Structure 1
Amino acid sequence: MSREDWQNLPLGRETTYESTYNPKLLHPIQRSVSRAQLGLSAGALPFFGEDEWWGFELSWLNPRGKPQVAVVRFSFPAESPCMVESKSFKLYLNSFNQSKFESWRLVQDTLARDLSAAVGTSVGVTLMDVEDAALAVEKPQGYCLDHLDIEVEKYQPDSALLALVEDEEDVSETLYSHLLRSNCPVTGQPDWATVVVEYKGPALKREALLAYIVSFREHQDFHEHCVERIFCDLQQLAEFSELTVSARYTRRGGLDINPLRSTRIEKQLPPRLARQ
């Protein structure tokens, strides 16, 4: 599938919402299309990570016909050959609405089986009660870049905006911004996120990093690949001993997408945020 073929995805078309379980609604997208633009190949990725999706509109019927509702967390490994197109994901989840399942566990196992088949590797799935404590939100940790007074002229990604602080000793810090905005490559709809950069190594010039983050404002790409571009551009800038880039995107259609890319395999996403 090429970038031109994205215009034929379900996301860009009027569709019928099915309410009977149908795994054929899932539409995979090859990650290699956008990664090729970054010079990345499947066998030599410079990062570890995952895409954490949260679903807030999952419902089905128990054996007696009573509706059940749950919040569900999905974990897609970054090394999976494919990701799932978001509208097809929503249509698939909607198809559970009028289908009967014997138990919550069966729903969870069904989701894991179907999604793993779609993306080509094992997908983690966890169902939670809508009052589960795991849904609590927190404030980001680190330094917020958004208070910096900068002049902005570029609204397409430009790695030349990035810079290091001259004659500065190596640092270990976490920087974040709520100003990341990109656009869906199929519909042009805006996607909003808080992006977090954790690193150890040469000090980043904070004003430059903020200008670079803002430069995505008119860029069209999927959430996952925006984070990968940020990671790769930073990795090209300097030799960091550790580097992690993550983003928590706001919810659309009951789903939010939260990619993380890191030089460390054990890194985890920051807590959920107020905008989610």
Structure 2
Amino acid sequence: MNDTSTSLHGAEASPLGKPVAYRDTYAPELLFPIARQLKRDEIGVRAEALPFCGEDLWNAYELSWLNPRGKPVVALAQFRVPADTPRLVESKSLKLYLNSFNQSRFADAAGVREAIARDLSAAAGGTVGVAVWPLTGPEGERPRRDFASPQGICLDELDIDIDSYQPDPTLLGAGEGIVSETLYSHLLKSNCLVTGQPDWGMVVVRYTGPAIDRAGLLRYIVSFREHNEFHEQCVERVFCDISERCRPQRLAVWARYTRRGGLDINPFRASDGEQRPDEAMEIRQ
């Protein structure tokens, strides 16, 4: 059954699961930050000694504002929130915030980018990278998105029995010998921490170390199926559980979650020095 714990997780006062009147003029106060440490305490992660580096990559598909003459501009945007910022931004509040640009006038896309970067950085407590790409820019500058599968081994065809649907790190294990490989699965499903709505995604594990038991890893990924937690928190839990149970020398974990409300979230956590994944989209995004 779903994890419906009533313990404080920081999102109790957020707009999630509540009727909200949309604002269509610039309103940075709509952003709702949540302390990361509230959930990191559950997995034994200390703020002063993070076991990972990384970022949360957000893609926004519903951004519009008015130019100085009142004509709408539409754009895509991308936000990079460093994993070491003390706060994440709740996704519904970000959607509401982006909609507040709809009837606001800006001189150009640079002004919009500067406003978003300022507001997200203040909410997260650190520098957030922001890019904004109008759809009607010069021919060579118009945004594009690429779809691709990870360069690795998909676990989803393994013929296994599964009966655990809450995160169970005891399913993880590793054997002898050192390997370097990338394993991935499209079978990741978790649920929103507040509303319980399903979140669908692909998760990728790239590591060097003792060979991870593939059947156990797939069972572990599927074990999130009835678990309630935000995207960023799920990926951090996966990273910490694999680190503890499998003892890799190097590890990177990232997820590509399907979009909701015009946003997709792609958390990445890795050992220091690990290369950031490419930005190719998962086919369901």
| CA positional deviation for 1:269 | 2.6
Residue 163 of structure 2 corresponds to residue 153 of structure 1: yes
* 1:274 aligned residue: 283
Gaps of at least 5 residues in structure 2 are 1-6, 137-141
The one-letter code of the counterpart of 2:153 is Y
Q: CA deviation at 1:238?
A: 3.0
SS in 2 for 1:269: coil
In structure 2, what residue type is equivalent to 1:176?
Y
Contact 1:6 / 1:186 at 8 angstroms: preserved in 2? yes
- Residues 38-187 of structure 1: pairs in structure 2 closer than 5 A: 38-130=43-135, 132=142, 134-165=144-175, 168-187=176-195
Secondary structure of the structure 1 residue equivalent to 2:12: helix
Alpha-carbon separation, structure 1, partners of 2:112 and 2:143: 21
Is residue 10–residue 34 contact of structure 2 (8 Å, CA) maintained in 1? no
| Separation of aligned partners in 2, 1:129 and 1:144 | 35
Q: Please give the TM-score of this superposition, normalised by the length of structure 1.
A: 0.96
Q: Are the structure 2 counterparts of residues 266 and 237 from structure 1 closer, same or farther at C-alpha, using a change threshold of 3 Å? A: closer
Q: Larger deviation: 258-267 or 156-165?
A: 258-267
Distance in 2 (alpha carbons) for counterparts of 1:58 and 1:129: 9
1:32-67: CA deviation from partner (whole Å, max 9, x where unpaired): 010000111111100000000000000000001111
Matches of 1:17 and 1:176, distance apart in 2: 38
Query: 2:190, 2:132 → 1: CA distance?
Result: 29
Deviation at 1:5?
5.1
The number of equivalent residue pairs is 273
Cα deviation for residue 8 of structure 1 reads: 2.6
1:105-154 deviation line (CA, Å, top 9, x unaligned): 00001100000001100000011244845412112220000010110010
Tell me which of 207, 213, 223 is aligned to 2:221. Answer: 213
**Equivalent in the alignment of 2:17:** 12
Relative distance call for 1:181 and 1:263 in structure 2 (3 A) is same
Mapped to 1, the partners of 2:79 and 2:212 lie a distance apart of 32
Q: Which secondary structure state, in structure 2, belongs to the residue aligned with residue 11 of structure 1?
A: coil
Q: Give, as a single letter, the amino acid of the residue that structure 2 aligns with 1:274.
A: I
User: 2:96 corresponds to which letter in structure 1?
Assistant: L
TM-score between both structures, scaled by the size of structure 2:
0.93
Q: Distance in 1 between matches of 2:253 and 2:169?
A: 15
Aligned residue for 2:3?
none
Distance in structure 2 (CA, Å) of the matches to 1:272 and 1:174:
17
Counterpart in 2 of 1:197?
A: 205
Is the contact between residue 69 and residue 129 of structure 1 (CA under 8 Å) also seen in structure 2?
yes
Partner amino acid, structure 2, of 1:3: L
| Deviation digits for residues 63-107 of structure 1 (CA, Å, limit 9, x no counterpart) | 011110111010000000001011110000000000000011000
Shift, 1:4, TM fit = 5.6
State the identity %: 56
Tell me the CA shift for residue 268 of structure 1. 1.2
Shift of 1:25: 0.4
Match for residue 4 of structure 2? none
Paired residues of 2:61 and 2:263 also in contact (CA < 8 A): yes
What is the letter of the counterpart of residue 76 of structure 1? Answer: V
Residue 63 of structure 2 aligns to a residue in which SS? strand
SS at match of 1:118: helix
Output the amino acid matched with 1:221.
E
Distance 2:240 2:30 in 1: 33
SS in 2 for 1:7: coil
**Aligned residue type for 1:162:** L
Q: Is the 8 A contact 1:49 1:265 kept in 2?
A: no
Secondary structure of the structure 2 residue equivalent to 1:260: strand
Structure 1 counterpart SS, 2:49 = coil
The CA RMSD measured in Å over matched residues stands at 1.3
Give yes or no for contact 1:247–1:260 (8 Å, CA) kept in 2: yes
